[in-house]
Amino acid sequence: MSKKKIKFRVGDLLVKYDNGIPEQAILHKKHSPYFNEEKERKIPAMWELLGWGFQYHKILESFLKTQIEKELIDYYPAKK
């Protein structure tokens, strides 16, 4: 079985379960990867989320994709 390629867009819905209770978040804004000269390392792509107990929360795009592949987070793409 091949992996399904995930391409996030603003407005996509993510649902995680905390003790069986669904918590929803919406992808709000994408931050492109960049090189941070102060920390001398590359900062990967991140998304701002609305939800999951935070007004705005940044999370790594790669982390979200891994959690979706492991079926720990449900992913519902926004309609075009």
Specify the higher pLDDT residue, 4 or 37: 37
pTM, whole model, 2 decimals? Answer: 0.80
What digits encode the pLDDT tens for the residues 7-30?
999 999 999 998 889 999 999 999
Q: Is the pLDDT of residue 63 over 50?
A: yes
Q: What is the DSSP string of the chain?
A: -PPPP----TT-EEEEEETTEEEEEEEEEEE--EEETTTTEEEPPEEEEEETTEEEEEEEHHHHHHHHHTTSEEEEPPP-
